[in-house]
Amino acid sequence: MKPVTSSLSIAVAQLNFTVGDLTANADRIIRALDEARNLGADLLLTPELALSGYPPEDLLLRPDFYRACSREVARIAAHTQDITLVLGHPEERHNWRYNAASVIRDGELVASYHKHLLPNYEVFDEERYFDRGLAACVFEMKGLKLGVNICADLWESGPAELARTDGAQVLLGLNASPYHMNKLQRRYDVLRDRVKDTGLPVIYCNMVGGQDELVFDGASFALDADGTLAYQAPSFEERIDLVHLGDGRWVSSEVAAARPIEAEVYEALKVGVRDYLGKNGFPGAIIGLSGGIDSALTLAVAVDALGAERVRAVMMPSPYTAQMSLDDSREMVERLGVRYDEIAIAPAMETFSALLADQFRGLAADTTEENLQSRIRGMILMALSNKTGAIVLTTGNKSEMATGYATLYGDMAGGFAVLKDLYKTFVYRLANWRNTVGPVIPENIITRPPSAELKPDQKDQDSLPPYEVLDAIIEAYMERDESPREIVAQGFPEAEVRRTVAMLKRNEYKRRQSPVGIRVTQRGFGRDWRYPITSRYQDEF
């Protein structure tokens, strides 16, 4: 293989695109071309499906969508004077549909690449939409031969090696790789495998921003042929970086330091909230405060993402609400400077009690009356949402979603679930971390035992195993697909494993009716959790 001796300057377009907003996305790419040209770049590298945004889902089944994409590709191509563009976009060719990358220079198509490996796992459904490419794409610039791969083509062996066989001396990777905890290290490991297999330096361009439940962290990077990290973009930032290749090695002024996992996750939540509201046109957010840790963290994230002026907090005390809950909520909203209202629900509770008195006569009070309180609160929040146009951010966490420790049409009522993929134990970690940045969450909220406050002296642990035990069991069963027998063998009490798994399976119907929420673990209750509601499968004990 010919040694790399020439030099090349590549602009990495770590940008935020909106699914389906083809004109705006194309305009952003055109501006990026201008920025890259001004930086002195020879080539602009975009993320996977940059033009359409990712994932377009069933828009990719519409012939008119491909025609619209084709028109925008032509418009972008007219702006490629004196610079080469590697553009990710959907393409229909002779009734075949591809996840494509087009190499365009001076308005002309130089080369095309069609993604070979179509992931059909976790949150990905590309086999539903695309046909597989078979050929390598290697093009020449300034005496260098550059090979193009798209996302999964670098995660498994085959396509990268095919590019090397066709003469590639450098690998360019277009990616739409969504965030989850510890994802960046996984990317390093996988790309170092490709570097080892091919002996080629590689540059990895990833998109940034929120799209429904997914958050893309960017964190674009480059590895030398020996696997050394030579360029690392900061995560969750939209930016265009210039990276130089000279004598076979990358040179960059940007090698961002790693951040604590809590900082990463908190930033993912902020981006998810900001883009969900921004891209869908919601003017602001409404949060029902309870004086508990979940609503407090949700409020902090919302204010950090949107600004205090776009966030409204509503406290809806019942006769069971502790004075401490009121005091802590008032203190927190004062610290954050958000609009705050208190609406007592005792009158509504009395009305419902009278309304249902004949129907409930002779029946003992139970969770029905507790759930009515939650549903009254949900009704109030949704009324405020309807009247103002602001979206209700629900506050339930992953532990609650797993076990059904939430009320349909009550605390589950809303439009976006900020903490849906955070275990309760991690909620506490995140709250403590946020207070190291600035003390916005009162210490009482973090240290007091969690309670729904729907009856006297109620505690979460009256109904659930300790959260340390509960969360570990859920993670093993849900994220690692371990059987109850395997979980018990790890030392967890069999009774608690049986109870947790039973609750998880029994409450699938609730989760199907819950709002979409931000995915931050490798498996969340969303696109990558597709268990049947009706099922009699018996787990292995």
Q: What is the DSSP letter of 476?
A: I
Q: How far is Cα 160 from Cα 7, in angstroms, rounded to an integer?
A: 21
Radius of gyration of the chain (CA): 26
Q: How far is Cα 522 from Cα 79, in angstroms, rounded to an integer?
A: 39
Q: How far is Cα 335 from Cα 322, in angstroms, rounded to an integer?
A: 20
The candidate with the shortest Cα–Cα distance to 105, out of 84, 135, 124, 76, is 84
Residue 491: φ, ψ to 5°: 110, 5
Q: Count how many residues are written for the chain.
A: 541
Structure tokens at 100: 């494509």
Q: How far is Cα 485 from Cα 489, in angstroms, rounded to an integer?
A: 6
Beta strands in 184-290 (DSSP E): 202-206, 208-211, 214-217, 221-223, 229-232, 239-246, 249-251, 285-289
Q: How far is Cα 449 from Cα 470, in angstroms, rounded to an integer?
A: 16
Residue type, position 215, single letter: V
Q: How far is Cα 460 from Cα 507, in angstroms, rounded to an integer?
A: 17
Q: How far is Cα 338 from Cα 442, in angstroms, rounded to an integer?
A: 15
Neighbours of 351 (CB within 10 A): 11
Q: How far is Cα 355 from Cα 347, in angstroms, rounded to an integer?
A: 12
Q: How far is Cα 72 from Cα 471, in angstroms, rounded to an integer?
A: 47
Contacts of 296 (CB under 8 A, 6+ apart): 289, 328, 332, 431, 441, 442, 445
- 3 state SS for 417-436: ECCCCCCHHHHHHHHHHHHH
3-state secondary structure of 259: coil
Q: Which residues are catalytic?
A: 48, 115, 151
Exposure on the CB side of residue 150, measured as CA atoms within 13 A = 33
Strand partners, 288: 314
Please work out, in degrees rounded to the nearest 5, the angle formed at the alpha carbon of residue 111 by the alpha carbons of 110 and 115.
Answer: 155
Residue 123, classified by CB atoms within 10 Å of its CB into exposed (0-12), middle (13-18) or buried (19+), is: middle
3-state secondary structure of 272: helix
Residue 29: φ, ψ to 5°: -65, -40
Beta strands in 37-118 (DSSP E): 43-45, 84-93, 96-105, 108-114
